[in-house]
Amino acid sequence: MAANFWTSSHCKQLLDPEEVDVVHPLDKERGITLEDFKLIKLHMANYIAKLAQNVKVRQRVVATAITYMRRVFVRRPMTEYDPRLVASTCLYLASKAEESTVQARLLVFYIRKIYPDDKHKYEIKDILEMEMKILEALNYYLVVFHPYRALSQLLQDANMNDATQVTWGIVNDTYKMDLILVHPPHLIALACIYIASVLKDKENTAWFEELRVDMNVVKNIAMEILDFYDSQKMITDERMSAALIKVKPITPQ
């Protein structure tokens, strides 16, 4: 159902981390490691956010687009589904699904603006063809729930309105990981609030206990986010380029 997470396709499609961290056999052949795989998805998530700033759509569209992109690469090889084209097209499709349609020609214009010297020029036609492939890869499930929806209410309830901005930022950062494919969005929201309480030195134990959610899960998600922050510092441009070069399309389609 469209407004109830527990009966939604999103809920039914949640995956175990082991199912998400699988490099497609075709990608493996090209030497793509699990680390490369994660780096490329991180890069594409950042790219979607950048593109979205240019075409001026809201964060919810960005979040939906990144979720689509991550779902696509659970089943489709990056060596056949050019990640940059997939990422751009996911933003295109998400803008339609979230009722703030962006024209394909506008998108193409900004892709060229962001990457002026990219040898690989995308045409409108490439976006439109990829749109259909992505619909298939998503198995036509387009409704995505995000942690943002629960966030402001939870923050208010926890008497943490002053932490809205920092928490919102942490939620944005969770899309650099695959958390949205694995955990219910409200638990991700709680994990972000948990981190924010630690950062703000706010004692919230009682409030969390009253929620009747599995705090072990919330804490584990929080740990994952913190681990990610740590590891992100180590990512060099060279390392990222080395991963990206492996998925360069050999021949334009």
- Quick check: 170 binds other proteins (CB under 8 A)? no
Select from 100, 164, 204, 220 the one that contacts other proteins (CB under 8 A): 100
Q: Which of 146, 49, 144, 142 is nearest to 88 (CA)?
A: 49
- Could you give the angle at which helices 148-157 and 185-199 cross, rounded to 10 degrees? 50
- Quick check: 135 binds other proteins (CB under 8 A)? yes
State how far the Cα of 106 lies from the Cα of 108, in Å rounded to an integer. 5
**Pick 13 or 204: Cβ nearer other proteins:** 13
- Quick check: 93 binds other proteins (CB under 8 A)? yes
- Quick check: 121 binds other proteins (CB under 8 A)? no
Report yes or no: 217 and 2 within 8 Å, Cβ to Cβ. no
Question: Among 19-27, 132-140, 179-187, 233-241, which window interacts with other proteins (CB under 8 A)?
Answer: 132-140
Report yes or no: 95 and 57 within 8 Å, Cβ to Cβ. yes
State how far the Cα of 97 lies from the Cα of 113, in Å rounded to an integer. 25
- Quick check: 7 binds other proteins (CB under 8 A)? yes
Beta-carbon contacts of 32 under 8 Å, excluding residues fewer than 6 positions away, are 23, 40, 78, 79, 243, 246, 247
**Pick 150 or 177: Cβ nearer other proteins:** 150
Question: Among 22-30, 90-98, 156-164, 211-219, which window interacts with other proteins (CB under 8 A)?
Answer: 90-98
State how far the Cα of 210 lies from the Cα of 201, in Å rounded to an integer. 19
Question: Among 23-31, 56-64, 171-179, 233-241, which window interacts with other proteins (CB under 8 A)?
Answer: 56-64
Question: Among 102-110, 180-188, 225-233, 241-249, which window interacts with other proteins (CB under 8 A)?
Answer: 102-110
**Pick 15 or 166: Cβ nearer other proteins:** 15
Report yes or no: 193 and 224 within 8 Å, Cβ to Cβ. no
Sites of contact with other proteins (CB under 8 A)? 1-4, 7-9, 12-13, 58, 60-61, 92-93, 96-101, 103-105, 124, 127-129, 131-133, 135-137, 139-143, 149
